[in-house]
Amino acid sequence: MDYYQLKYLVTETFYENMLDENYTIGQTAGRCFVEFYEELHENNIESIIVISTILARIARHEPTKLKDFLKEYKEMLELLQRINLDESLKEEERKDILYDIGCVRTCIKKYVKKE
């Protein structure tokens, strides 16, 4: 699936769950991780797109909630060590995903207490 198609689908699903189902940010994110189970378990670029998009939505709306999704964040970081974004994405897509990942990283450093 195309980068922007998948990112849009994940984003749309996130907001539909939040608004239509009246879910909290945490519930919405959890539901998205379930709904995109197949993409997440392929352990490829699509997995990174799904995780980064969901985490970026959390960072935008309720950054302290990222503490509940550190497992997914770590999974994404592990995938990023194995998958070359330059080979998997166009330059514009790579810049976009790295922006999202940077926002998530910044929010985790700022809002998630180290234990």
Tens of pLDDT along 23-56?
Answer: 999 999 999 999 999 999 999 999 999 999 999 9
The answer to whether 104 touches 73, Cβ cutoff 8 Å, is yes
Average pLDDT of the chain is 96
Report in angstroms the alpha-carbon separations of 62 from 59, 111, 112: 6, 10, 11
> How does pLDDT run across 68-92, given as a tens digit for each residue?
999 999 999 999 999 999 999 999 9
Whether residue 109 is predicted with pLDDT greater than 60 in this model: the reply is yes
DSSP 91: H
CA distance 10 to 14: 6
CA distance 52 to 97: 7
Host domain of residue 95: 3-111
Q: Domain total for the chain?
A: 1
Whether residue 115 is predicted with pLDDT greater than 60 in this model: the reply is no
- The pLDDT value recorded for residue 67 is 97
Whether residue 3 is predicted with pLDDT greater than 90 in this model: the reply is yes
Strand locations in 1-115 (E):
none
CA distance 111 to 105: 10
pTM of the model: 0.96
- The pLDDT value recorded for residue 101 is 98
